[in-house]
């Protein structure tokens, strides 16, 4: 239960926090935030919902809001922030942002992400790099191989490892993990501008483009490397597979790094981070953030205090070291970052020309469009009879439908309906 308001009318000190951080390292990051809050007289009441990419948490949040039981604080990320804010459900935390000079210290991309109609409606926590290549240093050295930097090198390394009886890549056939691999392959093939044409602007011409076909072909090629070990493993199981040396490489967001360390692997000794082949100049990003639900304004002072706390340098540093992410602040101390984090933060700091918003992690488009695109990519991946042209046609049809919907073709924007 939420604590009752104090007798002097101040806001309750207890805030229920709904999130999807349930792996071992994620729990440590959440616990660190809870401890920091406790130092400020705020109690974190945990409401963790299992499920990779927040799929389960999103469903629970919607059902709770419909039932009139919204948590005071919830993990909402990317375009979903604007969707919830448009419903008028999120607390505007402009005062907290102004008092802590968020405009002065946050990266521009982060500022845009947490704003809706000129109001700040989310507190950013950390930036994850999705296009991270983890590789086992000993396994590659044993076979006299260097970490691949291009698709041609990736193919060569994978085929040589497979010929030697070593699985080239740890990978799950779970829908969101397949789509995350595909978006990385697309970025490598095309760069951020075309990536945005496909996943942000959802241009049917981009769906039909040869670069999309090439990325789909490469996804099918990778499936051929690992077809004998594919199943719908949750991401921590994929990390365990890599940690047990059952695969030489893994393409996954940098949240995998602290999980590997927990399993006894030492960064830059047992394993190392690079960028996925062909993406060294780019940062495919996801941003963790918390939003506060409006309605019961007794909670507002505590919610604002929590928001300010999350973006302070000390909390940013501690949280991101435990989570595997990097700070949302432009003034972060790079000297305190490990090699993987330093490369990520430096790349993101180059600005929008190097940045690509992750489709899978809600950075690129709305929830319904995201889910439909992921389903089509997954369908293609599972069906070996489907050709890239088939997948391109289906994606193009989806995009045309999305465009019709956004233009109000089904009467949504008929002026007569507003009378």
User: Are 157 and 163 contacting, i.e. CB atoms less than 8 angstroms apart?
Assistant: no
Kindly report the average pLDDT of the chain as a whole number. 93
Q: Which residues contact 127 (CB under 8 A, 6 or more apart)?
A: 107, 110, 285, 286, 287, 288, 325, 326, 327, 328, 344, 345, 348
Instruction: State the pTM of this model.
Output: 0.93
Residue with tokens 């990778």, as numbered in its chain: 222
Torsion of CA 241, 246, 248, 249, to 10 degrees: -20
- CA angle 271–274–278, rounded 5-degree value: 145
Q: What is the pLDDT of residue 296?
A: 82
Domains along the chain with CATH numbers: 14-129+286-352 (3.40.190.10), 132-283+360-404 (3.40.190.10)
Q: Which pLDDT tens digit goes with each residue over 299-324?
A: 999 999 999 999 999 999 999 999 99
Q: What is the pLDDT of residue 230?
A: 86
Q: Which pLDDT tens digit goes with each residue over 166-214?
A: 999 999 999 999 999 999 999 998 999 999 999 999 999 999 999 999 9
Token pair belonging to 317: 């540093």
Q: What is the pLDDT of residue 6?
A: 40
Query: Average pLDDT in the 344-373 region?
Result: 97
Residue of higher predicted confidence among 56 and 275? 275
Q: What are the phi and psi torsion angles at 99 (to 5°)?
A: -65, -30
Query: Average pLDDT in the 107-113 region?
Result: 98
């Amino acid at each position: 239960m939420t604590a009752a308001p104090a007798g002097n009318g101040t806001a309750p000190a207890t805030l229920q926090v709904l999130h999807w951080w349930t792996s071992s390292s994620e729990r440590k990051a959440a616990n660190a935030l809870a401890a920091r809050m406790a130092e400020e007289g705020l109690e974190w009441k945990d409401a963790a919902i299992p499920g990779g990419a927040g799929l389960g948490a999103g469903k629970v949040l919607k059902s709770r809001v419909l039932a009139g039981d919204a948590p005071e604080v919830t993990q909402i990320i990317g375009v979903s922030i604007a969707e919830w804010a448009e419903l008028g459900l999120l607390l505007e935390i402009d005062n907290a942002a102004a008092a802590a000079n968020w405009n002065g210290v946050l990266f521009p991309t982060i500022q845009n992400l947490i704003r809706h109609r000129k109001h700040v409606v989310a507190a950013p926590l950390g930036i994850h790099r999705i296009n991270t290549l983890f590789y086992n240093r000993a396994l590659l050295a044993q076979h006299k191989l260097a970490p691949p930097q291009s698709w041609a090198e990736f193919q060569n390394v994978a085929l040589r490892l497979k010929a030697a009886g070593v699985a080239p890549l740890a990978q799950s056939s779970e829908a969101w993990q397949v789509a995350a691999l595909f978006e990385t392959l697309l970025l490598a093939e095309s760069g951020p501008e075309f990536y945005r044409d496909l996943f942000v602007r959802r241009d049917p011409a981009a769906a039909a483009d040869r670069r999309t076909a090439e990325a789909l072909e490469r996804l099918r090629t990778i499936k051929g490397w690992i077809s004998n070990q594919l199943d719908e493993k949750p991401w921590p199981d994929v990390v365990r597979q890599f940690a047990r040396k059952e695969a030489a490489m893994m393409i996954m967001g940098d949240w995998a790094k602290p999980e590997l360390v927990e399993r006894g692997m030492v960064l830059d000794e047992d394993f190392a981070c690079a960028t996925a082949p062909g993406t060294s100049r780019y940062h495919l990003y996801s941003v963790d953030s918390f939003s506060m639900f409006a309605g019961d304004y007794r909670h507002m002072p505590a919610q604002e205090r929590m928001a300010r706390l999350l973006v302070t340098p000390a909390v940013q540093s501690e949280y991101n070291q435990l989570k595997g992410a990097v700070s949302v602040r432009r003034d972060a101390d790079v000297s305190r970052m490990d090699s993987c984090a330093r490369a990520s933060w430096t790349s993101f700091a180059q600005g929008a020309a190097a940045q690509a918003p992750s489709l899978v992690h809600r950075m690129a488009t709305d929830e319904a469009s995201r889910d439909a695109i992921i389903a089509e990519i997954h369908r293609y991946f599972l069906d070996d009879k489907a050709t890239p042209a088939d997948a391109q046609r289906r994606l193009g049809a989806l995009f045309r439908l999305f465009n019709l919907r956004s233009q109000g073709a089904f009467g949504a924007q008929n002026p007569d309906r507003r009378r």
